[in-house]
Structure 1
Amino acid sequence: MEKRPIIALDFSSQEEIQTFLAQFPAEEKLFVKIGMELFYQEGPSIVHELTAAGHDVFLDLKLHDIPNTVKKAMKGLAKLGVRMTNVHAAGGIEMMAAAKEGLAEGTAAGKDVPDLIAVTQLTSTSEEQMHHDQLIQVPLKDSVVHYAKCAQEAGLDGVVCSALEVEMIHAATSDEFICLTPGIRPKGASVGDQKRVMDPQQAREIGSNYIVVGRPITQSETPYESYLQIKKEWNGEA
C-alpha cells in the first residue's frame, strides 16, 4: 500500500487551511496533522471539516494531566473521528493506560479506535537541554527508549520519536509498534528549529512507520508538487 506523509497543518485559522488545501486536487485524500495552534483557535469544527472531506486526521494535542482528566478528555476526542492522537509519555504508565481506555469508551460502535501514540522527547530537544532543563542525566536515546517501553506497557500503539531513534525503539518493543517521526526535511531543506532530523528516504530505510512534514510543503510555492515529491521519496520511488 502506498504510504502518505502526514502534512502538519501549522496554521492558525480555518481560512488559511482552506487556502492551502485549495492547491490540492479534490480527489487527493490527505493525512494531516492538527496541532494545538489550530485546534485552540478553531476547535472541533476544523476536524469535522477535514474528516468530512475524506482526509485522515492526526490530532496532535499531547495530553499530559492526571489520569482521570486525560481519560475523560480522550473519551470526548474519540467522538471526532480522528485516525490518531497522542499524549506525553512523561505523564506515566497509569495516565497513558487511562487515555487508551477513554479513547475506546468514546469510540462509536463499529468504528475503529484511533491509534494512540506517546511523545517521548520532542525533536526540538537536544541531549544538553534534556540534562539541564529536565534533570534527566541518562543519554537522550536511553530516555526515549525507556518512554517507548512504558508506552507499550500501557497498551499504546506507538510513539512520536526522532527518526534517529526508530531502530532502537523497534528493537526494544516490536516492528508493529508505531514510530511516527516528525522533523523530516527533504535533502537540502532548512532544518528550522528541529535538532534531530532525517530526509524521507532515510526515514523509510530505518523503519519509520509514519513521517510528518510541515514547512517543506506548507511554505512551498508549489505545495502539491512538493507533497508529491516527498511522497515519492517516502515510498522509495525517487
Structure 2
Amino acid sequence: MTLDRVIIALDFPSKKEALKIVDELDELISFYKVGLELFLNEGKEILKTLKKREKKIFLDLKFHDIPNTVQRAVKTSLNYGVDMLTLHTTGGFEMMKRARETVEEAKIRENVSLKLLGVTVLTSLDSKSLEEIYGLTFDIPSLVKKLAMLAKKTGVDGVVASAHEISTIKEHCGRDFTVVTPGIRLGKLSHDDQKRTVTPQEAFLRGADYIVIGRAVISSQNPREVLLNLFR
C-alpha cells in the first residue's frame, strides 16, 4: 500500500478547514477529493488553490442529467485542471459517451490527463435501499457489474465502486479499468451512513487502484498520526 494511491476527501464546508488538513498532510498526500459541499461553498477558488500547491484533484460532483447538459458541465470542468471527474453510470450510455468524447477532444487539443469515472452504486445503498427506490429487488454485485460494463463500453476510464465488487469489475472490464473505492473505514463510526464499507487493507487486497478516505482521517484528533499508523 502506498500513500500515492490514497485520496483524502475534503468533506468540509469551507476552504479554511480544507486547507488546514492539506497543510497537516502536506508531504504525505498529493491527491484530494472535492465534493459538492466544498465546491458549492468555495467554487473554483478551492481548485485553483490546490493546483497552486501542486495537488491532484478528484472533483466528485457525480453529474447526472441529459447528455447535452452533462457534456457541457464536463467541458467546463476541464478548465479547472482536475485529474478525476465523476458522473453517474445510471445517466445512461449516451450521457457517458458524450462526456467521454468531450474529454478525448480536450486531450488531443490541450494535452489534459483527466480520468472520467462512472459512479455505480453508492456505498450508502444496500439491496433494501434500492428496492425502496425502484420497487424491484436487485443483486448489488450483478447490478454493479452491469453498470461497470456499460461504462467500459462508452470508453470512460473507470468506475467508483465498493471494494466488494472490485474483483467482478476487473474480471469483466480488464485490469487496466480504474476502480476508485470509497466507503473506507478504520473502525465503526457513530452516525455512519455508509453501509458497504471496508478497511484500506481490504480494499487494496481486493484490487482497488485508489481509495478515498474521509471521516476516518479528517475527523480524528490527529489526522497525520492516524494516516501514518495506517500504513506502517
The two structures share one fold, judged by TM-score above 0.5: yes
Distance apart, 1:69 and its partner CA? 1.1
- Residues 8, 29 of structure 2: 8 Å contact kept: no
Q: For residues 117-132 of structure 1, what are the structure 2 equivalents within 5 Å?
A: 117-132=117-132
Which residue does 2:84 correspond to in 1?
84
Distance apart, 1:52 and its partner CA? 1.1
What value does the CA root-mean-square deviation take over the aligned residues?
1.8
Distance apart, 1:6 and its partner CA? 0.4
Q: For residues 41-60 of structure 1, what are the structure 2 equivalents within 5 Å?
A: 41-60=41-60
Counterpart amino acid of 2:24?
Q
Q: Indicate whether 1:14 and 2:15 are aligned.
A: yes
Counterpart amino acid of 1:14?
K
The DSSP-based 3-state class of the residue aligned with 1:32 is strand
- Residues 127, 138 of structure 2: 8 Å contact kept: no
5+ residue gaps, structure 2, are none
Which residue does 2:158 correspond to in 1?
158
User: For residues 91 and 180 of structure 1, do their structure 2 counterparts lie closer, same or farther at Cα, with a shift above 3 Å needed?
Assistant: same
- What is the CA deviation profile of residues 15-51 of structure 1, one whole-angstrom value per residue up to 9, with x for unaligned ones? 11122223234x4452000000111111111111101
**Runs in 1 of length 4+ with deviation above 6 angstroms?**
none
Whole-Å separation in 1 of the counterparts to 2:39 and 2:226: 25
User: For residues 87 and 32 of structure 1, do their structure 2 counterparts lie closer, same or farther at Cα, with a shift above 3 Å needed?
Assistant: same
* Sequence identity (%): 39
- Length-normalised TM-score, structure 1: 0.91
> Which stretch of the first structure deviates more once superposed, 76-85 or 190-199?
190-199
Whole-Å separation in 1 of the counterparts to 2:107 and 2:46: 19
User: For residues 229 and 5 of structure 1, do their structure 2 counterparts lie closer, same or farther at Cα, with a shift above 3 Å needed?
Assistant: farther
Which residue does 2:146 correspond to in 1?
146
User: For residues 106 and 98 of structure 1, do their structure 2 counterparts lie closer, same or farther at Cα, with a shift above 3 Å needed?
Assistant: same
Q: For residues 1-238 of structure 1, what are the structure 2 equivalents within 5 Å?
A: 2=2, 3-25=4-26, 27-107=27-107, 109-186=109-186, 188-190=187-189, 192-230=192-230, 232=231, 238=232
5+ residue gaps, structure 1, are 233-237
- Residues 74, 106 of structure 1: 8 Å contact kept: no
User: For residues 21 and 214 of structure 1, do their structure 2 counterparts lie closer, same or farther at Cα, with a shift above 3 Å needed?
Assistant: same
